[in-house]
Amino acid sequence: MHIYLAEKGIEIPFEEVDIMKRANRTPEFMSRVNVTGGIPVLELDDGSHIAESIAICRYFETQNPEPPLFGSGAREQARVEMWTRRIELNLMMPVGMVWVHGSPLTKAVMKKQIPEMAEQNRDVVEGYYKFLDRHLENHEYLAGQPFSIADIVALCTIDFAAKLNHLPHSTEQKHLDRWYQSVSGRPSAKA
């Protein structure tokens, strides 16, 4: 979400929530802020809340339509949505399964980790990196042109996979690596 806000030039106050101390899982947080205990959460001026990163970004998109990070016109918006969903379902989900079933950090909150599930999903992630490499051979950004929320979601997912799951993409995947270097080099990503 930080990258999205920086791309838009939007500044909002942030309040840190200590997830390691499960501050987002307290009964007070879950009853007052977000019933699922997830973060991030945007608190509006009237005290109501919007949860989930993409929903929050869509809220800001309607308030600040330029530059259009969810696409312009029906066709471009559909392509951005298509690629955002592909990343969420085909990359973020298996990265999450590696995290849940393979990380020592999640072991404390999981009743039973299934190491085979982590390994199986590592293979899925590596396969999807190959798919993205082939796609990006003919595209500057995931949804074509211009840079969009789909690229932001993919960058954050790939960074999470690399840093917390020890599952980086290969620099031999030259098209994916070119895209990665380009989007991670943007001022919004560096901030």
Domains of the chain, with CATH numbers? 2-63 (3.40.30.10), 73-190 (1.20.1050.10)
Average pLDDT estimate for 128-142: 98
**Distances 183 to 110, 173, 186 between C-alpha atoms, Å:** 34, 15, 5
Is residue 180 within 8 A of residue 168, CB to CB? The reply is no
Long-range contacts of 101-104 (CB under 8 A, 24+ apart): 102/165, 103/164, 103/165
Q: What is the pTM of this model?
A: 0.93
Average pLDDT estimate for 31-47: 95
- Rg of the chain on CA atoms, in Å: 18
Question: Distance between CA atoms of 28 and 44, rounded to whole angstroms?
Answer: 18
Q: Tokens 């530059």 — which residue?
A: 67
Is residue 80 within 8 A of residue 150, CB to CB? The reply is yes
pLDDT exceeds 90 at position 105: no
pLDDT tens digits, 44-93:
999 999 999 999 999 999 999 999 999 999 999 999 999 999 999 999 99
Residues 6 or more apart whose CB falls under 8 angstroms from that of 190 comprise 184
pLDDT exceeds 90 at position 158: yes
pLDDT exceeds 90 at position 130: yes
The confidence band for 112, taking pLDDT boundaries of 50, 70 and 90, is very high
Both tokens of 2, joined, read 């930080």
Mean pLDDT in the chain? Answer: 95
> How deeply is 151 buried, as exposed, middle or buried, from its count of CB atoms within 10 A (0-12, 13-18, 19+)?
buried
pLDDT tens digits, 19-32:
888 899 999 999 99
pLDDT of residue 111: 86
Q: Tokens 């080099």 — which residue?
A: 185
